[in-house]
Chain A
Amino acid sequence: MSKAAELAALIGSQTALSNRNVIINGAFQCSQRGTSTTGGGFLVDRFELNINNTDNIAITQSQDSSGPSGFANSWKILATTAESAVAADERVRFRQNIEGQNLQQFAFGTSAAKSMTLSFYVKSNKTGTYAVNLEQDDASRVIGSTYTISSADTWEFKTITVGGDTSGTINDDNGAGLIVSWYLLAGSNYTATDNTSYGASADGKQAYGHSTTWGQATNDNFFITGIQLEVGEQATPFEHRSFADELLRCQRYFFRTGAFSYFLMGRWHHNNGSPLASFNLPTTMRAAPGVSVSTAFASGSGYTGTPTFGDFDPNNFTIASATSRNANDVQWANTGKLDISAEL
């Protein structure tokens, strides 16, 4: 076989040579919110941990500085307290919602719908069978599969290939087009219904085939990295991107500012009131974001205190001082940090 033929066989006939991976932050390089937290929600960029209806389990999640060869980081999920018994409605899962307009190459909803392959590296102390599903938000359709961790505490490479869906259209917009979910713990409500072919979404299809007992012993751990989802029937080598490229992709969905340093806000000349200014975002966000204060702002003479925020646009928003000033006065927003979110 020629080298060209070998390359074609490796990458598959339907695979692009670049920008193959539709997962963002698959190597867990970016973690703007910090490197460790307790409980669910977002920590590492673009991946959300959901802990639903549990009554015992306590979990920490962290950006870990370990991985298989070629990966400096992974995501670690650790059960610091075990779930003593898994009730039907309990689950622990993590997922990434992928924007619909980034998925049009899959041609779902057409006769030319293409297969897709999910690949990742995983390690856990708890061997067994874990469930994954891929859910189309627009068409409310889902397909699932499982993978098996065979050796405890050992990085293993997993691939899952599913056919294209000729029925469920993924809208070409900024909404959630595909939700990729990995299950760690699943009660019987989520495992009851076969999901190995495309069909209408249902709770019972979320984790069909999931049988590991992860989370039922203290210090059960789970590490994952190198996540790639691509067109085609074969997993190609992970598409490494620069930190700058990956961070910019993440900031379309979430941006934690640095500490404000004498950010100038002015009051117009007509009357007294709150000074205000426009804050420009580093990249166009997915949608008009929401804003919360993650680090307090300085108060006192010349400083704004904790501002208010509004007139949100994917590119900018308004910051207004907490205090009223005279016409033509200026104030500084200082020391505070903002969390700006347009997550799916």
Chain B
Amino acid sequence: MNDMNITSAQYVAHPIENRNMSIKATIDGVEMYVPINDAANKESAEIMRQVAAGTLTIADAD
């Protein structure tokens, strides 16, 4: 059972390299930066699970 309430998610761009370096998400009301697609990190795993389920979309980086 996972109790996380994720209300937003957006990629964060690396300031030098042309790629994303993390996901900024609001999880249970707290803004948190989490690894991208990392099953060992429970917040990242839950984001990926919700994306796969179609209940969450990760916005592009600014």
Which residues of A does B touch, CB under 8 Å?
41, 50, 52, 174-175, 268, 273-276, 286-293, 308-312, 318, 320-321, 341-344
Contacts and interface: CB of A to CB of B under 8 A. Distances in A.
Instruction: Output the residue of A268, A290, A312, A342 with the most chain B CB within 10 A.
Output: A290
A292 B15 contact: no
> What's the dominant secondary structure at chain B's contact region?
mixed
A8 to B, nearest CB: 40
Contacts of A343: 42
* Size category, B interface: 20 to 34
A320 B38 CA distance: 21
Contacts of B31: 292-293
Nearest to B30: A292
Contact of B3 (A52, A268, A273): A52
A36 to B, nearest CB: 18
A312 B22 contact: yes
A213 B19 CA distance: 54
Contact of A290 (B15, B20, B34): B34
A292 B34 CA distance: 9
A312 B30 contact: no
A321 B51 CA distance: 28
Nearest to A275: B15
A276 B35 contact: no
Contacts, number: 70
Interface core residue of A310, A312, A341, A344 (most chain B CB under 10 Å): A310
A273 B38 CA distance: 28
Contacts of A310: 12, 14, 20-22, 33
A342 B12 contact: no
A290 B43 contact: yes
Contacts of A287: 38, 40-41
A290 B35 contact: yes
A318 B3 contact: no
Interface core residue of B28, B31, B32 (most chain A CB under 10 Å): B32
B42 A292 contact: no
A338 B52 CA distance: 30
Given A174-B40, A309-B33, A311-B14, 5 more contacts: A52-B1, A289-B35, A290-B41, A292-B33, A312-B22
A308 B32 contact: no
Contacts of B1: 52
Contacts of A289: 35, 41
Interface in B1-26: 1, 3, 12, 14-16, 20-22, 24
B43 to A, nearest CB: 5
Nearest to A271: B16
Contacts of B42: 343-344
